[in-house]
Structure 1
Amino acid sequence: MNRRPLLLSTFAALAFAAGPARAQGLPELPAAKPVPVVQVLPLPDDQTSFTVGGREVARYWFAPRQERPFVYPIIGASGRSLTRMGHPRDPVGHGHHNSFWVAHQSVDGENYWEDPGAPRIVPRKILRYDDGDAEAAITSDNDWVGADGRVHMTDRRRMTVRPMKDGEWLLTLDLQFRAPDTPVNPGGSVVLGDTAFGPVAVRMAKTIGVADGGGRLRNSEGNEDEQGPNGCFRKPARWVDYSGPIVEGVAEGITLLDHPANPSHPSPFHVRRDGWMGAALTFGGARTIEPGKPLLLRYALYVHRGVPTPQTIDAVWTEFAKGRVEPLPAK
């Protein structure tokens, strides 16, 4: 079994990115503070960049003109993005496949999944940015605005980037869905309908897909590929992994992890051979969110080298599963 170390210690993280100035100190600046290894940097045009040792690994897009916020690119150790914008053969019909995104096909009966449409997920506020040697995070609030112009649901999300060994890294997504402060429905609740689409999904790079690039699609239960009795399609699992070629002779990939505290765990995963995978929270049954009782969820992306063994991914999932799922503070 491959038991390579999982998360970098603070010391290892420093060594990962330390330059001569950090190693030797800055005698001319006696009050100089350490420069965080992992940073989240606000950019123009409603973008935020995650960097590790000065190298960008991901970027969050949250312009109000968009249908919803998303993360693109998600960069592996090769320096290439492991995700893409849109379906490789249907860019219009699947224009909503924005790399890594949060959405749902049925919120109070309205579709927040496809583009274009009147229902939209509108960024309201960036609450905070946090840098550090071990990780960096952004926390934001968003409104799910229906065709009637009213807010049907809100979400608070925190995305955290934590570097790992050999250029690998983990993106953890904490989600907090809440019923709106101004009730839309009788009783003030909001209903997430029965669907296989939502709340999180990943559109992989074309070359990583099974159909286009000859990649591999596997899950924690030993299933492989999409359809058939041994396929991964809509099967419950702790994780689903997509691995494939990204540079000539080099394979990388992403594992989508489902936290054991999620109410649907082990979640059914909606997957396709064309390079798409998503965790289906309400596949098989609707879920009602009552006022004052937010729905707390946690997912993660393990951005890795090569085609890791199931034992390696299990070890990452076990470490991820130790994290507690708690309400996200406003400050």
Structure 2
Amino acid sequence: MSHRAGLPVLGLDEFYRDHDDPGLPRRFGIVDWDDPASWNAGAALEALTSLAHDGSAEVPEYSISASRRIGTARLLTGDAPLIIAEGIFAAELIAPLAATGLLADAIVLHRPTPVVFALRLLRDLRQHRKPPLTLLRRGWGLARDQRSDLERWIRAGMRPEGLRAGIDRLRQLTALTEAEASHRFGPQEPDLLRITAVCFLRRGPEGEEVLAVRKRGTGSYMQVGGKLEPGETAAEAAVREVAEEIGLQLDPSDLEPLGDFEAVAANEPNTLVRSAVFVCRATVPEPLDVLAELEDHRWVRVADPGSGARLAPLMVQHILPALRDR
């Protein structure tokens, strides 16, 4: 599926721990390499973060047959808009990647158990991963566990997809994320989208912070807000969007204009957004439950937002500078 999608792949198997690492779990008379405790989640997350922000990372080269690291290699993403992190421990990374705005989607390939058993055994025999009897015992055990594994991964936030549907989904994500990440327009004149945005501010431990939210299936954080409906003023649209997205009831008098700004749309290909931006110091309830199409939120330092999450162009180019000037 990764090959057909044409995207760079980080093989999560490269982050297994060496066979002499103390405390490795055991099963079938050998180290249980299907237990997340046999794997270095922190190192995998660090590599993915580096790939997302810098386009390159030092990745270990792991020998399955020798059960140890045998070297390192530098993985480059080039201009690819997405990276596939592939392996049975991918679900362990859903929460930390989502928290930093780097998760585009989480997919588990759903195939019949006999097919998975046969393909796994053929691969392991071809690569001489372990003695044949060990591979048969391990493969039979994993086949028995496949249904419960699938249920566990779904509970962790993965969506089951068949091979063709999964490839289609990856291609759709590629098209969307390419527009979002590159901020380049096509040959045609870009569309203009009228939106409104609301900056909720609070005093944090390191200075003023502004609330940023992320829509489901996207990677950029932005302000609460959205498109104007026919006949709405920007302030009316702001009040409506705030109620829909974070459940806070405002009055237009609660909003103070920050400015009207124009930037490349974070999630709409070949589109500019022109936004009326407001500041609101109404208290945001904590813990905050985001609603509607939103999936996540975070508080971003106005003076120094850092590099932990990707911020929308409107926020980076206009809103944060305007808040600093203010």
The structure whose residues are more often helix, as a share, is 2
Please give the TM-score of this superposition, normalised by the length of structure 1: 0.23
The structure whose residues are more often strand, as a share, is 1
